Amino acid sequence: MAPTDETAQVDQQTSPFGTTPPTLPPGGDAPGQGARMPRWLPRAMVLALTLVALFQLGSWAFHQLIGLLINILIAFFLALAIEPAVSWMASYGMRRGLATFLVFFGLLIATAGFITLLGSMLAGQIIKMIEGFPEYLDSVINWINSSFHTHVRRVDVQDSLVHSDWLRKYVQNSATGVLDVSAQVLGGLFKLLTITLFSFYFAADGPRLRRALCSVLPPARQAEVLRAWEIAVDKTGGYLYSRGLMALISGIAHYILLQALGVPYAPVLAVWVGLVSQFIPTIGTYLAGALPMLIAFTIDPWYALWVLIFVVVYQQFENYVLQPKLTAKTVDIHPAVAFGSVIAGTALLGAVGALIAIPAVATLQAFLGAYVKRYDVTDDPRVHGHRTRRSPSFRARLLGLLGR
């Protein structure tokens, strides 16, 4: 029978392996050709790009505002430090704004008086050193000539110093660095003004700030925020109290030494040592001891050595005896935790972090302590550090069973 057109068409569509290929939809393309994009993919890409852009914008804004944020953090802790004094004056009917102003005015007067006394002392010592420099230079030249049998003259030394390239380059660099120093001074004054204004607002409007913060929280959260605020005030005040007490003890101790050695300006130097060593972290001890050593060196080099020995010995006494006891009573924080918090604060925020690390950690520790469930400790000798008698090892028991 001759194949018809329909059977021929069926034979052409039949696969040589006996299977029929799938039929395509009318007007459709082959699989993988012209497949449509899922509807959610463009929106997901736009959302991802938007999130990346917002993250970049937030990171840029944070890096631009990190200086302001650090200043606000310092101002907040300063407001917490003066809060007890402001609250005490406000309890007697004085307005908080006036009480805050009086506290800041007292701090300003004390700081200005200390800087004035210190500046006059330094100016007097610098003038004294300049006037006595020729005599000191003559003594050094005479010692060199007598020891090494040379014929060095003071005039030759002065001429070589005046006409030296080192002095000329130093003067040029100092002249070009005046603008940089001026810019740094102006920047420091602006930063100090910013911190002062923010701390004044935080202290004067403390109740209003607390009400504004609690108005957006449920009652249970409000109680927690207020309790954390009070703990922060107590810990910050206790930290400053302990630092002030240690500064007083350090100042009295160094005043006795400097007065016994006959070093001039002993009261001012004692105040300098007490304040700088306690309120400037990390390098405060070295800065505090350098100035008395320099003044004592102008009197007698041996006096400078005695001051150095006393500073080192007293620092050890303060670190291992005085500071742990005062810190435990006022801040209630372990010395090891305090040391670690200072290191962490320095790594995060530099000198500012080291200064506020201890009150911040003490506040956090006291706040979280209410949420940590504690149990009675069992009466075990190992708790007190006494090791129990060890049981025989497996090898010893095996040898015992074998009769060896």
Task: From 251, 134, 143, 286, select the one nearest 294 (Cα to Cα).
Answer: 286
Of 147-156, 259-268, 355-364, give the range with the top mean pLDDT: 259-268
pLDDT of amino acid 268: 82
pLDDT of amino acid 105: 93
Sort 292 into a burial class: Cβ within 10 Å, 0-12 / 13-18 / 19+: buried
pLDDT in tens, 211-225: 888 888 888 888 888
- pLDDT of residue 395 exceeding 80, the answer is no
- Report yes or no: 190 and 71 within 8 Å, Cβ to Cβ: no
DSSP notation for 328-350: HHHT---HHHHHHHHHHHHHHHT
Residue entry with tokens 């007007």:
27
pLDDT in tens, 59-108: 998 888 888 888 888 888 888 888 888 988 988 889 998 999 999 999 89
Say what the pTM is.
0.64
pLDDT of amino acid 225: 81
Put residue 29 in one of left, alpha, beta given phi > 0 → left and psi -120 to 50 → alpha: beta
Residue entry with tokens 């200064």:
355
- Dist CA 268 CA 259 (whole Å): 11
pLDDT in tens, 287-327: 888 888 888 887 888 888 999 999 889 888 887 777 777 76
Confidence band for 49, pLDDT divided at 50, 70 and 90:
very high
What's the chain's Rg over C-alpha atoms?
38
Structure tokens at 111: 């700081």
pLDDT in tens, 244-254: 888 888 889 99
